[in-house]
Amino acid sequence: MNRSFRLSTALDVDDLLLECVPYAIRMANEKYKFDPPLTIHEVDRWGRTGTRADVIFEFMDNPDFISSQPPIKGAQEFVRKLSQITEIFISTAVWPEYMSQRYQRILEVFPEIPRDHILIGSRKDKIDVDILFDDGLHNILNSNAAYPILMRRPWNQAATGIMAVNNYDEFLKFVEIIANSYSTAPEQISLESPSIVVLVGPSGSGKNDIARELMNGTDVFEKLISYSTNPGSENDPDGWYKYVTERDFQNMVDDGRLCESTTYAGHFYGCRKDDVEKILNSGKNVLTVMDICGAMALKTLFPHVITIYVKRDRKELITAILEKDCSTEDKANRLLSISVETRNAQVCDYTVKFESAEQAVKEIRDRLKI
């Protein structure tokens, strides 16, 4: 299907293009000399939390703050790159009395954006665009855009299974895939060793069963271990996950050892870049199970990444989740993510329907020409 016009993208502003929370935190630390200093990780949900982090709102509610918000590192270059691929709109919410300051600041920092493409208001669900990029989970969940994509921030870590990215490069990869899906016919993708094969799908879809069967009786693949803060990872019988504490996980993020990190059902997951490179350098193909956020991160970093979405009937998904050996809260998070995760099939290279692991594996082998 060819398209006679470019994709359209709506971009949020606060903490997507311009610093908001980090800027307010710096001001708060300078004024109140917090010891230890206030950090962004203390803002783990949006709104007032009853903690010392609430002080940031003192600085945000000020026209001078709105007029002086600095651009996030890389934001200006990101907008320039994106403007070459899609038509850009700004969708931003500020108090009515600060609208002029927000409008002028956008024009100063992002001159590529047309004046009449700056839309100010909180009803982002009313904006008719192909892609919405926002750090507000409520905006993503209520969006009518074909592809609502979340920018990961500490205050939206509870989001599970939705299209999400950790940085601008991952978002641009998403846009590239979306644009190609409109402009070119689907191509047959086969395994080009060494490659990375990622199984994506809702909890209960059978991803792990398929991965286990793909590993059996063949030396084509080597499994990639994911590090997880889920205590249940300690008892993983197949060795796909290794349990680490939240402190250890955050240390790996801060040290740059993880090539991707994401949150699923309230737990952190990530894989190490040197683990991936070690397998690829041995000549083997990597096999891993991830959410769409992790899959897009790998596509950004490595040249040959094949994503396969595992589809399963809704009733079977629910049954499989209810039968899992995990907490009630964990099950609830997984159940709530089912609807939003079905959108992920649109950006995967292949979709296979799970009727049995053996049937799905046969289809995957045929498609990848293994």
Residue 317 inside a domain? The answer is yes
What single-letter DSSP state applies at residue 14? Answer: B
- The string of pLDDT tens digits covering residues 116-143 is 999 999 999 999 999 999 999 999 989 9
**Shared domain check, 293 and 214:** yes
Same domain, 237 and 359: yes
Q: Which amino acid is at 148?
A: P
What residues form DSSP beta bridges with 119? 91
Contact 90, 118 (CB under 8 A): yes
Shared domain for 152 and 208, answered yes or no, is no
Cβ(18)–Cβ(70) below 8 Å: yes
Higher per-residue pLDDT: 243 or 336: 243
Is the domain of 169 the same as that of 239? no
Query: What pTM does this model have?
Result: 0.86
Left if phi > 0, otherwise alpha if psi is -120 to 50, otherwise beta: which for 82? alpha
- As separate numbers, helices (DSSP H) first and strands (DSSP E) second, the chain gives 15, 15
Choose between 241 and 32: higher pLDDT: 32
- How confident is the model at residue 223, as a pLDDT? 93
Judged by DSSP in three states, 206 sits in coil
Least confident of 34-48, 77-91, 176-190, 329-343: 176-190
Residue 160's pLDDT band (cuts 50, 70, 90):
confident
Q: Does the pLDDT at position 186 exceed 80?
A: no
Of the candidates 309, 270, 264, the residue with the CA atom closest to the CA atom of residue 160: 264
Dihedral in degrees, nearest 10, Cα atoms 216, 222, 223, 225: 150
**Residue 162: inside a domain:** yes
Six-digit token string for 237: 């019988």
Contact status, residue 207 vs residue 200, Cβ threshold 8 Å: yes
Asked if residue 1 is part of any domain, the answer here is no
% pLDDT > 90, the chain: 71
Domain that holds residue 47: 8-182
Using an 8 Å Cβ cutoff, are 147 and 132 in contact?
A: yes
Task: Note whether 14 and 148 are same-domain residues.
Answer: yes
Query: Of 182, 213, 230, which one is at a domain's C-terminal end?
Result: 182
Query: In terms of domains, do 205 and 280 share one?
Result: yes
Q: Is 187's pLDDT higher than 70?
A: no
Cα(253)–Cα(250) distance, integer angstroms: 5
Largest pairwise CA distance in the chain: 67
* Dihedral over Cα of 312, 314, 320, 324: its sign: positive
Strand ranges across the sheet with 118-120: 118-120, 87-92, 8-11, 131-134, 147-151, 164-165
Tell me: the pLDDT tens digits for 69-85?
Answer: 999 999 999 999 999 99
Pairing of strands 258-264, 267-272: antiparallel
**Which CA distances in Å does 268 have to 103, 108, 140?**
37, 38, 20
Cβ burial, residue 69 (10 Å; 0-12/13-18/19+): buried
Q: Is 193 exposed, middle or buried (0-12, 13-18, 19+ CB in 10 A)?
A: exposed
Q: What share of the chain is helix, strand, coil (3-state, %, to 5)?
A: 45, 20, 35
CATH label of the domain that carries residue 172: 3.40.50.1000
Helices (H), the chain: 21-32, 56-60, 63-68, 75-83, 99-109, 137-142, 168-183, 207-215, 246-254, 273-281, 292-301, 314-322, 328-336, 338-341, 357-368
CATH of the domain at 316: 3.40.50.300
- Of 133, 153, 182, the domain-final residue: 182
